[in-house]
A = this chain, B = another copy of it.
Amino acid sequence: ICRRSRKSPYPMISVAEATNAVISAAWQCSTKRIKMDSALGYVLAEDIQAADPLPPFPASIKDGYAVVANDGAGLRKVSGSSTAGCKPELYSVVSGECTRINTGAPVPPGADAVVQVEDTNLLVEDDDGRVELEIEILKAPFVGQDIRPTGCDIAAGQTILTTGTLLGASEIGLLATVGVTEVLVVSKPTVAILSTGNELQDPNEPLRVGYIRDSNKTTLIALLKQHDFPVIDAGIAKDDPTSLLKSLKSALAQADVLVTTGGVSMGDRDLLRPVLVSDFQAEIHFAQVFMKPGKPTTFATCIYSGQKKLILGLPGNPVSAVVTSNLYLLPLCRKMSGRANYMYTCIRAKLSAPVRLDPRPEYHRATLCWKEGEDLPVVYSTGNQLSSRLLSMASAQVLLRLPPRTEDQESLPENTIVEALLLQF
């Protein structure tokens, strides 16, 4: 205890260097074949081809009449009807005649144009007014008018989705369109969340003297659920090597990525790094980042039971934990899930009020507001930015990336254009 070092033995690195270290250590998870219905949010691990063309037949774009274009405007005998779902070869159209046709229905053989009902008049109907016998085409049609040719949307054999595509709702719909109901996707990493600290207690139990309720585990589990990553509750470890060792072993046995909160400061009870190094032969990639909040953020890798494991040791205070999860954990999980765009989208926004800069680059929680007639959104701080105040994180839409204070620039004036990382919409 006495001879503990009074300065961190680890060099302070930049957020960019830290991000790079985390992302470089990430591997892509193995692939698995799953049902189309459960593939939402996964990344494709194969190209998808269409077996047949779409539409599979020439299809009408309008409700109206299938005609021979060359007949021009004028009278037509109505010889039948083609409705959606009927066989294309059921009717054929000859010169001087036409067939009623619905949107999406097959254009019968012989016809080469569709005239929408709005561009026609009814001339003769049968005695009981149930069948159209003769109509007038008001405007001469052109060949191909209002017809989607076979394969015009998707050609037979066409690749419609490629390896690496993130499967959103429309992509899942495309799979249905081409009848591919099982797909090979990249698995997602399993993340275990472990809180550490003698002062922590389960939020479900009455508050004991000297304790605080653990909120980090609840927050981070919710964050991972929100982003659709499988997550395991690895409990709360005490600040002693035996408890920590036991919890770490159990968590690493179940997860690809282990996230701990607490235990990474310079206190004599901050045991994460020593236990990782001595008991898991972990390599500590970094343990100090030039940022606020989140300075003691630690990243380590080890081999456990023959498997590579990634360990993010996040600070214990709630805002630091959630800011660093947004910056490091989510991009890491997205990368492992095969996502090409695994980093945050960064937009530009105008400060609504002056901001005093911190000696460290600061990630400042804020909300956005788009004003009528203004091109850029305006950012509003979500209040007190002291790193323990989770209140300031609530409903933040962005993390403002503020530059560190310099002698020349101690604060940013109102209307300064700053960078904002989009957290959610």
Contacts and interface: CB of A to CB of B under 8 A. Distances in A.
Interface string A352-367: 0000000000000000
Interface stretch (A23-31, A55-63, A249-257, A272-280): A55-63
B266 A210 contact: no
Interface string A1-28: 1111011000000000000000000000
Nearest to A417: B375
Given A55-B212, A85-B197, A424 B425 contact: yes
Contacts of A154: 391
Contacts of A216: 173
A302 interface: no
Nearest to A41: B226
A168 B395 contact: yes
Contacts of A139: none
Nearest to A166: B395
A215 to B, nearest CB: 4
Contact of A210 (B88, B221, B270, B370): B88
A3 B170 contact: no
B153 A391 contact: yes
A102 interface: yes
15 contacts: A2-B130, A51-B207, A52-B207, A81-B268, A84-B198, A84-B239, A85-B199, A87-B209, A102-B268, A102-B269, A102-B270, A166-B395, A173-B218, A173-B219, A176-B213
